[in-house]
Amino acid sequence: MSEDINQNQILMGASDVCAILDIKESTLRKYALILQDAGYHFHTNEKGQRGYFDRDVTVLRRFLEIKKASDMTLEQSANAVMAWVEQSGVSLRVMEKNKENERYNADIKELKEMVENQNELLKALMSQMDQQQKYIDSSLKKRDEVLMQSLKESMETRKLIAAAQEEEKKKGFWQRLFDRK
């Protein structure tokens, strides 16, 4: 009663399925036997050991939900699950894909929010950098103006000193001699 293993699916052991469904291995064996009696086929190896695919976990999860939610026996719950499997047919894979998509959609939403937050932070940083650049430009302009004013005053002083020295030279020897007192 062995099925062909699909290359794209992962075959899980009983302990993995028990961890996913939060049930004991003995409970898993019991439920798998009840589902097999109802007509569900699990993958088995040459030794008769069961292996579980994602779709099997989905069927078992559905079985647990129906068992908990109704007053049916385990056999009746298994028959209800088999009716659901037959009715949904391909939709089992679609459900698994939808759950994956929901998880990815949540991740995408989270990433979008993070990107938006980073964009806001970048805008704030750019604004701060613009303000700093304006302050730097203003400070440099003021410094340049003060420096130019100092240079102009220095040039004026040098001109006055040069003019005084020139006038001193123009005075004659005797005038310079007699001006000293």
Collapsing DSSP to helix, strand or coil, 65 comes out as: helix
Instruction: Return per-residue pLDDT of the chain as tens, 181 residues.
Output: 444 444 457 888 889 999 999 999 999 999 999 999 988 888 888 888 899 988 899 899 988 888 887 778 888 888 888 888 888 764 454 455 555 667 678 888 889 999 999 999 999 999 999 999 999 999 999 999 999 999 999 999 999 998 888 877 777 666 666 766 5
Of 1.10.1660.10, 3.40.50.1100, 1.10.357.10, 3.90.1150.10, which CATH number belongs to 14-88? 1.10.1660.10
**Per DSSP, what are the bridge partners of residue 50?**
44
Question: How many Å from the N-terminal Cα to the C-terminal Cα in the chain?
Answer: 135
- Quote the pLDDT of residue 8: 56
Closest C-alpha to 56, from 104, 120, 103, 11 = 11
Token readout for 78 is: 């298994």
Instruction: Judge whether 8 and 49 are in contact, CB under 8 Å.
Output: no
- Quote the pLDDT of residue 11: 86
Instruction: Judge whether 66 and 72 are in contact, CB under 8 Å.
Output: yes
- The structure's pTM equals 0.45
